[in-house]
Homo-oligomer: A and B are copies of this chain.
């Protein structure tokens, strides 16, 4: 049914001047509103910001109501809330479920920001601030798009449900359970996960696969407190040495992950995947010039092999290390403890719970059974068929707005909560968004290009319109 409906859409006329005119007129007000949203430091991963996360949920709920979205509610999840809202008056029309998140990543290292992360500024055509791209800017564009259509036409041509999460940067700890428990409240035909971006600076992309994530903290404990390294360094084991052994036991210099069974059940890319990856632009030169990358892992030099390797192989990245003295100059201590943060990016059909179990077994087998592993959450990977009609429609409407063909990306390196949408709600999921390589998501100086933010809202307004046909 869905396929038949989608097939009819290609002959839909462009949106009326009314909508385009409204979008143009409201531009300054929309940017000011986005800046207000970005000022709320909704860092979900740090407990001290819990009130700010809730404040962002409240701000977003108000903005949704102002836009004309109905049944707006702040839904408790056991953690940071989900903000839900809908507009369901297109009787017999299709229903799209739009997902985004209003929480953001932590901001350190703070001294590398050109301006304070929660005091957004527009500079050189970019909005600079934590969350500008990932993902408040995208969430905001969706709400504004609905608002523009409702303001100019009084109704939406399709049914829309909005689901904005507050824990995406904390591995979506409660989303899966909430979605499964409330699946009857959110029936839909398709889902848009708006939390990704362009493949390249000027290449809009639609993504149909997200890798999974398993994030853990590894803690090695020695003595109850730091000791004088001179007095005790000759007798007492140093937790840092154990941590270094663990890190080398996780991944070899060849880039291969050493956890037994880690690669079990992995699906290699299909012929269609290879074809789509082949069509994507070369990345190696960009990595070299933009990030100063001198050497890629596994001896790769570029081409389709690098593009495939970097997403179709699972990864193990140590995201941080902490131990002992870290200030300037010298302090001669034998640290009491050493910790590492580690993320595993998973590909179909790996599962975070299974990987966590295998990590534990590996550390036990390597002699580190007394080392503590804290599960910091994760998502299983999930993919949608790139040739689904809805995916094709998202691509077509994007092409109209962006003026160039949409890149179709079978799988991206990043992770997200698409698994329950694909596997529990059984929806085709288009992941789109407005990040680009220099968007600096998760890093200092996160930013979003103003023109892309505005085009994204236009694209969503247009998609809503054409999906109704």
Cα A69 to Cα B339 in complex, Å, equals: 50
A59 within 8 A of B: no
16 contacts between A and B (CB under 8 A): A45-B328, A108-B325, A225-B440, A228-B414, A230-B414, A230-B415, A231-B412, A234-B311, A235-B306, A237-B295, A244-B244, A244-B247, A317-B332, A322-B322, A330-B376, A332-B343
A320 on interface, CB distance cutoff 8 Å: yes
Contact-size category for A: 35 or more
Given A236-B297, A330-B343, 15 more pairs with CB closer than 8 A: A106-B327, A215-B330, A222-B293, A226-B442, A229-B315, A229-B317, A235-B283, A235-B306, A235-B310, A236-B296, A241-B248, A318-B335, A319-B324, A319-B330, A320-B324
- Stoichiometry (number of copies): 2
Find residues 115-173 in chain A having any chain B CB closer than 8 Å to their own CB. Answer: 169-171
**C-alpha gap A456/B320 in the complex (Å):** 46
Task: Find the B residue at minimum CB distance from A235.
Answer: B310
Which one of A225, A241, A245, A437 has the highest number of Cβ atoms from chain B below 10 Å of its Cβ? Answer: A241
CA distance A225 to B446 in the complex (A): 12
Judge whether A7 is part of the interface by a CB distance below 8 angstroms: no
CB distance from A273 to the nearest CB of B (A): 15
Residues from chain B with a CB closer than 8 A to the CB of A234 are: 297, 309-311, 313, 315, 345, 413
Given contacts A331-B106, A442-B228, is CB(A235)–CB(B324) below 8 Å?
Answer: no
Tell me the chain A residues, 215-232 only, with Cβ under 8 Å from chain B. 215, 222-232
Closest to A108 in B: B327
A215 nearest CB neighbor, chain B only: B330
- Select one of B108, B329, B414, B441 contacting A46, CB under 8 A: B329
Is there contact, CB below 8 Å, between A227 and B333? no
Q: Across the interface, do A46 and B327 meet the contact criterion of CB distance under 8 Å?
A: yes
Compute how far the CA of A180 lies from the CA of B137 in the bound complex, rounded to whole angstroms: 65
Nearest first, the 6 closest Cβ-Cβ pairs linking A and B are A45-B329, A230-B414, A234-B310, A320-B324, A244-B247, A320-B325
Q: Which of A295, A315, A319 has the most chain B CB within a 10 Å cutoff?
A: A319
Restricting to A299-358, which residues have a CB under 8 Å from any CB of B? 300, 306, 309-311, 313, 315-335, 338-341, 343, 345
Complexed CA–CA distance, A437 and B232 (Å):
10
Q: Is A424 close to B, CB under 8 A?
A: no
A323 CB contacts on chain B under 8 angstroms: 318, 320-321
User: Cβ of B324 and Cβ of A341 under 8 Å apart?
Assistant: yes
Question: A222: which B residues are within 8 A, CB to CB?
Answer: 293
